[in-house]
Structure 1
């Protein structure tokens, strides 16, 4: 029986990761998580200052074709090596993460529902919808504290690329979603519904005769 792929999209710091983490921790041995952010294009040809100035919130910033090929390999029962990304140096890192096929594969990222080919691979499409002010405050805290960026650089990136790209690409992708979840992992009702759906998928995989 082929894996079920769940795509989770939404704006920056909307709660996608919280929702993904809650689901994957609940079914730790039955889920695999693929992060779209790990598929940012490698640009070692550019100096750090130029890499930092790139637009990381448009579809062209991602090597989505590689992600899709990895998902298709997982559907075929093959293991893949998911790349990792260094947010301090703004470039793809050397280590990779081995992802093995699981009954449920979760794909998470702001633009997961933007490109039709990636949507077509997803069986269940979820959009996490959170107020813009809340997302901005969370992004400031994340980028300044966790990723070591200055407040000025976070503000500049948000105004120059994050906000306009959200309006151009992310928000319209909501129309492709099967389910819209306000507040992401904080929405306990939605989390309970998704948990029960995933439980049924896992039970179907374990049923006698499943292949």
Structure 2
């Protein structure tokens, strides 16, 4: 979508003219990604290493379960081979791509979408699972925080493309599990099955055109650079055993330049731009309703197992331009 005005931008910012919290603007008016490290709160610059709480990539497979606010258990391993719909089957899975800078809230947004959908067979695929296997020289650079993990060359796009294609066709795949503390893949990959809905999130999820063209809906999470850096500091120190000085150095040397060069341009290709990620309930509601409407058109809700996820309330009042722009988007599919 080359025309910036074909995008839907969902924001609560006073700087954007909105109606019911949803506004349209040109991507050219989005401020550049700037950050002043010396303005960060001192409590976000710890000098010690905290105990690690999570060091592996977060693709959902096998026994992963998401619990909704209502207490419903959703199994995110996708459709198992014995699952058969009584109604019309989807020819392809509905693929949602979520892109955004490091620590912008992509994973949180994906989880919120799953909770709101309340559908049993959803896969979440993280781009973090597809870092390339490093050679010995690259391992030494990574240990010194001198390897660029934010550059496209760091990812195995061939394996990623093959995995997405198989999942969309309803086939099972083994997804690598990446350990951030050792910079290696673990010995036990996660088994995932094809699902009715696949959510693929990552910093460069729109980078390769072949992969981007597989997506039915592209969402860009637009979070300001200071917030992203604060989150990255807390995450990498608390969860990945890094020291604050090294995180800051890596950010200025690799993360920020990669955002400016490879990630920020993806805004122009997004169908929806979401401000504040998983905190933007209006955007989440809009995305969920669009997914359910699309699945209705595909005949998904003729299946008994899917009836509980059928849309039960009308679309937003007072925002006909949103429906019109989505209609043009869907017409091009």
TM range (shorter): over 0.9
Quickly say closer, same or farther: Cα 1:49–1:157, change in 2 above 3 A: same
Map of 1:205 onto structure 2? 300
Q: Deviations along 1:158-202, whole A, 9 cap, x unmatched?
A: 011000000000001111101100111110100111122233345
Q: Distance in 1 between matches of 2:227 and 2:175?
A: 30
User: After the TM superposition, which parts of structure 1 deviate over 4 Å for at least 4 consecutive aligned residues?
Assistant: none
Q: Please state if 1:164 is matched with 2:257.
A: yes
Maintained 8 Å contact 1:130/1:184: yes
Q: CA deviation at 1:44?
A: 4.5
Q: Distance in 2 between matches of 1:201 and 1:39?
A: 29
Separation in structure 1 between the aligned mates of residue 175 and residue 301 of structure 2, nearest angstrom: 26
Q: Which has the higher strand share?
A: 1
Q: Does 2:195 match 1:102?
A: yes
Aligned partner of 1:129 in structure 2 is 222
Secondary structure of 2:123's aligned partner: strand
Is 1:54 aligned with 2:147?
yes
Unaligned runs of 5+ in 2: 1-89, 304-333
Note if contact 2:206-2:212 (Cα within 8 Å) is conserved in structure 1. yes
TM-score normalized with structure 1 length: 0.93
Residue 189 of structure 1 corresponds to 282
Q: Which has the higher Rg, Structure 1 or Structure 2?
A: 2
The alpha carbon displacement at 1:22 in A equals 1.2
Is the counterpart of residue 142 in structure 1 residue 274 in structure 2?
Answer: no
How large is the RMSD of aligned CA atoms in angstroms?
1.5
In structure 2, what is the Cα distance between the partners aligned to 1:48 and 1:88?
Answer: 11
Partners of 1:34 and 1:11 in 2: how far apart?
Answer: 17
Greater fraction of residues in helix: 1
> How far 1:100 sits from its partner (Å)?
1.0
Across the two proteins, how many residue pairs are aligned to each other?
Answer: 208
Question: Where does structure 1 lack aligned partners over 5 or more consecutive residues?
Answer: none
